[in-house]
A and B are shown apart, each in its own frame.
Chain A
Amino acid sequence: MQSLFALKKYFLRYKSKLAFGILFILLSNFGQVYIPIILKNTIDELQQKVTIELIIQNVLLIVGTALISGIFRFFIRQTIIVISREIEYDVRQDFWEHIQKLPLRFFQNNSTGNIMAHATNDISAVRMFVGPSVMYAIDTVTKFSIVLAIMFTISPILTGFTLVPLPFISILVYILSKKIHKKYNAIQEKFSEITTVAQENFSGIRVVKSYVREEYEIEKWKISSREYFEKNLEKVKLQAMFQPVLYLTAGLSTIIVVWIGGGMAIEGTITLGEILAFVVYLGLLIWPMIAFGWVANMVQQASASMKRIQKILNEKYEISDSGLTDYSITNIAGDIEFRNVSFRFKADLPLVLNNISLKIPHGATAAFVGSTGVGKTSLINLIPRLYDTTSGEVLIDGLDVRNIPLNVLRENIGLVPQEAFLFSDTLENNLAYGGKKIPLEKISDISKLSKEVASFPLGFQTVLGERGITLSGGQKQRSALARALAIDPKILILDDSFSAIDTHTEEEILIKLKEFMKDRTSIIISHRISTVKDADIIFVLEDGKIAEEGKHNELVELNGIYAELHNKQLLEEELKELN
C-alpha cells in the first residue's frame, strides 16, 4: 500500500481535473438515484388513478434526469480515466529519463525483457489503479451512501433485511478474484514451462532426431501440456463460480424485497411503488459492490508493481558528473594514459584488468591484440567511462577522465563497438546520430559506403531495420564506423569493428582512415594481423596484463604470442588461395 503514496505528486499535477471528476461522480449519482423515486411516485399515482398527463410528466422527467446523469457520466470518464492515461505517461517518462542515465552495468545485470516488463506491465497496473480503481471506489462509496439514506427513509426495516446479502458480494468478489489472480499467475508459470519445453525441443532437434527420441519428447510434451490443462481447470472452476455467486447474492436481495416487502404491502405499511424503488435501487448497487471487491485486489497488485518501479527509480547513476568535474574543460586533444589501472565487474569476480599502465600520445595509432576474453573491450570501455576503473586512473591530456564533463568526454570519442548496433531509422539519421560535423559524403567515402548508398533508391533516406532493408554484417559495421567519424572525434576506438568486412575492403578503409586520423588518436582492437600491422604501437594482452608491446617488426622478431598469431594467419591465407 505504502508504495502507492509515491503517486501523490502525480495526482497533485491534475488536482483540479480530479476535483471536477469527483464532482461529476456526485452529480451523476444524484441523477441516477432520483429516477427510482420518480418510478415509485408514478406507480403510487397510477394506483390512485391520476390523469395520463401527470404520468407523461413523470415519463419526461425520467428521460430528462437520465440524460443529465448520462452527460455527467460521460464527463467522469473524460476526466478521471483521462487522468490515468496522463499519469501513466508521466510515470513512464520519469522511468525512461532515469534508466537512460544508468550505467552499462545496470543493463548487463538486467535483461531487456525484465526492464520491458517494468515499463509495460507494471506501469499498466499502476494506471489501472489510478483510473478505474479510483473511479469505482469513489462511485461506490458515494452511490452507496445516497441510496442507503433514501432506502432508509422509505423503510428502515426493509432496508435492514435487503442489505444483508450485499456486502457478501464485495467480499466474495474480493476472495474469488484474488484466488483467480493467483491461479492466473500459476498458469502463466506453467505456460512459460511448456514454452521452455517447446523451445528446448526445437533448439535441440538434432539430438532428438539423432537418438530417435521423438516419441519420448512427445510424451514429455503431453505431460507438461496436461499439467497446463489441469492448472487451467483449477482457474476455470473458480471462474465458473464467479457469476453464479453474484446472482445468488444479488438475487437473494431481490427475493427478500418481494417476500418481506410484499408482506408489508399486504399489511399496508409500504406501497407498491416503494417496493419497485427498492428493486431498482438494488440493481443500482450491485455493480458498485462488485467493483469494490475488484478494486481491493487492484490496489494490492498496483502497489506491488509500484514497488518494483521504485526499485529501479532508486538505482544510482554511478557514472555521472560529480564534484570532481571541471566544467571549464570544453575540449580534449587526445593524449591517453593508463596509470596502474585494474578493473573487475563486481567485487566478488576476478580482475579483468590487472595493473595496466600505458601511454598513447595524441595523433598516434595504437592496437590491441589478444585472445577472446582477455580484457581488450573492458580496457577501451574505460576511456569514454562506460565503466569506471576499480583502481588506478585513466587520464586524457594528463587529466583524470572523471575531471572531464561526461558529455565533453564522450562527444570527442568515436567508439565503434563490437556489435554494430543500428537503430530502425533512416540511414542518414543513423550516420548522423552523434552529430554531423563531417559531411555525410565524406564519412561514407571513408567507410566505403558510397557505392551502397548510391544503389539504394532512397539513398541516405533508406530506412533500416524491421520496417526497412536489412543490412549485411559488413554494411552494418561500415555504417557504425561512419557514425563514429561523423562526430569529428579526437579519439577513435575500433573494437574489432571490421570482423565482418573482407580483408580487401578493410585495407581500402584503413588507407582512407589514415588520412582522416592524421591529428587524431586511433585505438584498434583486432584479431587480424593485417589490420594492426601498421600501428605505431601494438599491445598484446594476456590474462589482463600487457604481455608484449612494440611495433609489428619488433614483435615478430620477439617470436612470442604475436609472432605465432602472425604465422597462423599467413598459413590461413595460403590455404584460402589454394584451389
Chain B
Amino acid sequence: MADQHKDDEILGKAYDSKLMKRLLEYIKPYKKYVALAIILNILVAALGPVRPYLVHIAIDESIVQKDYNTLLNITLLLLLSLIFQAVVQFFLTYYTEYMGQKIVYDLRVKLFSHVQKLALKFFDKTPVGRTVTRVTNDVESLNEMFSSGIVTVFSDVFTIIWIFIFMFYMSWDLSLVTLAVLPVLIYATFLFRRKVREAYRDTRFHLARLNSYMQEHVTGMNITQIFSKEKEELNKFSGINNDHKIANIKSIFYYAIFFPGVELLSSIAIALIIWYGGGKYLENTMTLGILFAFIQYTEMFFRPIRDLSEKYNILQSAMASSERIFKLMDDDTFVKNVDNPNTINNVNGRIDFKNVWFAYNDDNYVLKDIDFSIDPGQTAAIVGATGAGKTSLINILTRFYDIQKGSILLDGMDISKLDKRELRKHISIVLQDVYLFSGTVKSNISLGSKDISDEDIINAAKVVGADKFISSLPNGYNEEVKEKGATLSVGQKQLISFARALAYNPQILILDEATSSIDTETEIIIQNAIEKLLKGRTSIVIAHRLSTIQNADKIIVMHKGEVREIGTHQELLTKKGIYYKLYQLQYKDQEITKTA
C-alpha cells in the first residue's frame, strides 16, 4: 500500500531553490509591479486590524466619556477604512491575479514554442497525451501558485504582523497572555495539516482505485457480460466503493476535531482576556475599550494562520509540476542544423541517394546501402511489402531524421548542410493518413499561410478536382471541419490534402498513396488529381495504384530495407523477380477491375 501511494502521488519538496530560481525568471519582467503589489499589500493589511483599535477609542474616549461628537468622527473613520480596504483589496487581488495569469501565459507560449521545435523523434517516442498534459494541466497548477499562493501568503503575514503591532501597542502584557494560545494553535494547525494530508492521500488513492476500476470495467463491460459475472463484479465493486467511503469517513474525523477545536481555542483566548484584562480593569490599569478590541483581534488572527498552512499543498504541487515542465523545456531532441547552412534558391529537383544507411536506434538499420537517383521532373515509384522501409525513406529525405552513413543530395548539395526548414519549404508531402485540423476547408488547404491567396486555394482545389464537392458544402470553402474531418469521406479528405500540397507549389513532391479502397467514381477523380499533382516536378510516390506505377519513370523496388530492383514496369515484369510477385499481390486486381 505504501508503495502504491507513492505511485499515485509523486510529490516532491514544497520548496526547491533551484526550481524556484527558474520560476522567478518568469516574474522578472514584472518585478516593478510585484514590488508595488507588495507595498500596497503591507498598507492594506493594516486597514482590517485598525478597526478594533478605533472601536477601543470609541468606547474609552467617547461612550464612557459621553462624547457624542468623537463617536461620530470615529464612526466616519471606521466607515472610511472599511470602504478603502474593500476598494484597494479588490484592485490588489485583481492586479496580482492578472500578473499571475500573464506569467503563466508567457510560460505556456514559451513551452509550446519549444515543443514545436523538437524533432519528430521526440513525438515518436512520447505519447501525445503526456505532452498535452505538460502544456495544459501542469502549467495550470503553476497558475494557482502564482495567483492565489504567493499573494495571499504576503497578505496573511502582514495582517498578522499588524494585529500584533496594535495589540502590543495597546497592552503588551495582555497581548502576551492572549497569545499564550498561539503555540497551541500553530501546533494544532500543523498537526491537522499533516494528518489531513495523510488522510487526503489515502482518499486520493482509494478514489484512483475506484476510478480505474470503473474505467476498466466500463471498457471491459462486454467481458463481464459475456461471462455473466455481473454479481461477482458488483461484489468487487462494493468492496472498492466501501474502502473509498471508509477512507473519506476517516478524514472527516480530523475535520470534525480540528474546526471545533479551533473554535474552542478562540473561546479560551477570550476567556484569558476576560480573566487577565478583567482583573486589571478592577485594578484600574485597563480600559473596557481595550478588552473589546482584544476580543475582536482573537477572531482576526485565527484565519490567516489557518490559511497559511493550506498554502503548503499548493506550493508542493506547483513544484512537482514545474519540475516536469522544466524537464520538457530542457529536452533537446532537435534535428540540428550545421552552423552557417548553405542556401538554395532555385531548386531543379535532382535527388541522389548515395550509399545511405539509416537506423532509428543503434545499429538496427532499417535502410541499408540505399543508392539511386532521380532526375529533375521525374517520377519515381517506390514499391515494396510492409516493413520494406518505404516510410523511412521519406523521413530521411525531409530530414525528420538524420542518416548515419552515406549522403542524400539535392541538386548535388548535401541536404545535411542545408537549413532543414528551408529544405522542407521545397518539398511537399502528402501522407497516407490525411490529417485535418479544426478550422475551415480553406484553412486546411492553406494551413494559414499568408503567401497563399484565396485564389490560389480555389485554383489548387480546381486542379485536383476538389472544387466541385467543396463548393457543394453549405459554407463552401468556409465550411467548418469537425472532428478531424469525420463528416468528410476518405476520398474527399485525400483531395483536400492534394489541394494542400499543390497550393504550396513545391519543386519536389512526396506522395504516400492511401491503400484504402474508394468507389470507382472517386477513384477516377483521384487518379486524375495525382497525374496533375506529379506533372512538372520531381516526385517520389509510395505507390499503391497500378496507374501510378505504370506512369512512373522508374520503379524502385524495396525489400527488407534494401533496394532490390530498379526499372520500368515492363522491364521489371519480364524480370520475374520481387516486383513480379508484388504486382500479382497488390496491383493485378486493379487491372481486372479496370478492364471489367
Chain A residues packing against B (C-beta within 8 Å) = 35, 39, 42-43, 46-47, 49, 52, 55-56, 58-60, 62-63, 65-67, 69-71, 73-78, 81-82, 85-86, 88-89, 92-93, 96-97, 99-101, 104, 107, 112, 115-116, 119-120, 191, 194-214, 216-222, 225-226, 229, 232-233, 236-237, 239-241, 243-245, 247-248, 251-252, 254-255, 258-259, 262-263, 265-266, 272, 276, 279-280, 283, 384, 386, 406-407, 410-411, 413, 415, 417, 421, 423-424, 433-435, 466-467, 483, 487, 564, 568, 571-572, 574-576, 578-579
- Judge whether B10 is part of the interface by a CB distance below 8 angstroms: no
CB closest residue in chain B, given A219: B448
Q: Say yes or no: A265 contacts B234, CB within 8 Å.
A: no
Q: Say yes or no: B264 contacts A67, CB within 8 Å.
A: yes
Q: Say yes or no: A52 contacts B282, CB within 8 Å.
A: yes
Q: Say yes or no: B581 contacts A571, CB within 8 Å.
A: yes
- Which residues of chain B from 223 to 275 have any CB-CB distance to chain A below 8 Å in the complex? 223-230, 233-234, 237-238, 241-242, 244-245, 248-249, 252-253, 255-257, 259-261, 263-264, 267-268, 270-272, 274-275
**Contact sample, A vs B, 6 pairs, CB 8 Å cutoff:** A42-B278, A73-B256, A115-B214, A209-B424, A236-B94, A248-B83
Q: Say yes or no: B105 contacts A226, CB within 8 Å.
A: yes
* A565 → chain B closest CB, angstroms: 11
CB closest residue in chain B, given A81: B252
Q: Say yes or no: A62 contacts B226, CB within 8 Å.
A: no
* A504 → chain B closest CB, angstroms: 18
Q: Say yes or no: A85 contacts B245, CB within 8 Å.
A: yes
* A297 → chain B closest CB, angstroms: 20
- Considering only CB atoms and an 8 Å cut-off, how many residues of chain B contact the other chain? 135
Q: Among A65, A92, A415, A423, which residue has its beta carbon within 8 angstroms of that of B216?
A: A423
Q: Say yes or no: B295 contacts A221, CB within 8 Å.
A: no
Majority secondary structure, A binding face: helix
Q: Say yes or no: A212 contacts B425, CB within 8 Å.
A: yes
- Judge whether B101 is part of the interface by a CB distance below 8 angstroms: yes
Q: Given known contacts A209-B400, A243-B89, what 13 new A-B pairs fall within 8 Å (CB)?
A: A66-B263, A73-B259, A93-B237, A119-B214, A191-B136, A199-B128, A207-B447, A233-B97, A236-B97, A240-B94, A241-B90, A266-B67, A487-B227
Once the chains are docked, how many angstroms separate the CA of A568 from the CA of B583? 11
Majority secondary structure, B binding face: helix
Contact partners of B382 in chain A: CB under 8 A: none
* A150 → chain B closest CB, angstroms: 18
Q: Say yes or no: A433 contacts B223, CB within 8 Å.
A: yes
CB closest residue in chain B, given A67: B264
CB closest residue in chain B, given A579: B560
Q: Say yes or no: B295 contacts A236, CB within 8 Å.
A: no
Most buried by B among A195, A207, A218, A415: A207
Q: Say yes or no: A211 contacts B447, CB within 8 Å.
A: yes
* A49 → chain B closest CB, angstroms: 6
CB closest residue in chain A, given B68: A266
Q: Say yes or no: B82 contacts A251, CB within 8 Å.
A: yes
Q: Say yes or no: A247 contacts B86, CB within 8 Å.
A: yes
Q: Say yes or no: B222 contacts A417, CB within 8 Å.
A: yes
Contact partners of A276 in chain B: CB under 8 A: 292, 295
Q: Say yes or no: A423 contacts B225, CB within 8 Å.
A: no
Given contacts A100-B230, A100-B233, A207-B447, contact A240 B271 (CB under 8 A): no
Q: Among B105, B227, B259, B428, which residue has its beta carbon within 8 angstroms of that of A433?
A: B227
Q: Among B94, B117, B425, which residue has its beta carbon within 8 angstroms of that of A237?
A: B94
Contact partners of A218 in chain B: CB under 8 A: 109, 112-113, 116
Q: Say yes or no: B274 contacts A59, CB within 8 Å.
A: yes
Q: Say yes or no: B234 contacts A97, CB within 8 Å.
A: yes
- Judge whether B55 is part of the interface by a CB distance below 8 angstroms: yes
- Judge whether B525 is part of the interface by a CB distance below 8 angstroms: no
Q: Say yes or no: B214 contacts A96, CB within 8 Å.
A: yes
* A307 → chain B closest CB, angstroms: 21
Once the chains are docked, how many angstroms separate the CA of A254 from the CA of B226? 68
Contact partners of B279 in chain A: CB under 8 A: 52, 55
Once the chains are docked, how many angstroms separate the CA of A574 from the CA of B431? 29
CB closest residue in chain B, given A60: B271
- Which residues of chain B from 51 to 94 have any CB-CB distance to chain A below 8 Å in the complex? 51, 55, 58-59, 62-64, 66-68, 71-72, 74-75, 78-79, 82-83, 85-87, 89-91, 93-94
Most buried by B among A233, A254, A262, A434: A262
